[in-house]
Amino acid sequence: MMLSIPGLLSAEDLLAVREKLARADWEDGRSTAGHLAVKVKANLQLPLAAETARALGDLVLDRLGTCPTFIAAALPLRVLPPRFNRYEGGGTYGSHIDNALFRMPNNGPYVRSDISCTLFLSGPEEYDGGELTIEDSYGTQRVKLAAGDMILYPGTSHHRVEPVTRGVRLAAFFWTQSLVPCQLNRRTLFEMDEAIQRLAADHPDHDSVGMLTGVYHNLLRQWSVT
């Protein structure tokens, strides 16, 4: 399932993030690429241990924790701390699939990359190119969202960032391990959750609201893995 979440960061959040990124020290993004990805990666990235990266990552995680759409769609078990990248002057990241597993900081548990997430920190008017191109069973999608908006898509997808030919493209990216590993089951639960909320809004006293909520939780109980 591919899903966009508008306005994860407010205008105030974006201003604070952009100010910190403007003063940050960037490094070659290939320092965190795998042996195949390093051949197609040409961007800049905040060092993982940098204080700016940790502080901004905590801000993004805080906003995720209060975002009902993210929680309902991802059903997160673990979220890897966000990373931050910068594309300019022809910077690009060729077609690749993300690693299946990433380790949490300080030798913490592994995170399985069920869901890839990109949070746009530059507006589409600020740069040319730079589309996130995602290829999966639903076809090829070219994504270029407003600053503060986020896209979720399957970690199993081939994807790339098109060359940035003007301006600067800033983004945060991270991976989520879901309580429900199967993306078809996650989509079913998300659509059921949305339907229950609409039914509850239109017919709050209808017996079906409680019955369907019970079905939702029984499916979640059956499909979840912790």
Q: What is the pLDDT of residues 178-220, one digit of tens each?
A: 999 999 999 999 999 999 999 999 999 999 999 999 999 999 9
pLDDT at 64: 98
Provide mean pLDDT across the span 153-169: 97
- CATH 4.10.860 in the chain is located at 183-223
- CATH 2.60.120.620 in the chain is located at 3-178
Tell me if the pTM is above 0.85: yes
* Candidate CATH numbers 1.10.760, 4.10.860, 1.10.3470, 3.30.70; the one for domain 183-223: 4.10.860
Determine contact, residues 143/124, Cβ cutoff 8 Å. no
* Candidate CATH numbers 1.10.645.10, 2.60.120.620, 3.30.43.10, 2.40.240.20; the one for domain 3-178: 2.60.120.620
Closest to 64 in 3D by CA, of 190, 144, 189, 148: 148
User: Where do the H-state alpha helices sit in the chain?
Assistant: 11-22, 51-65, 68-74, 183-202, 207-223
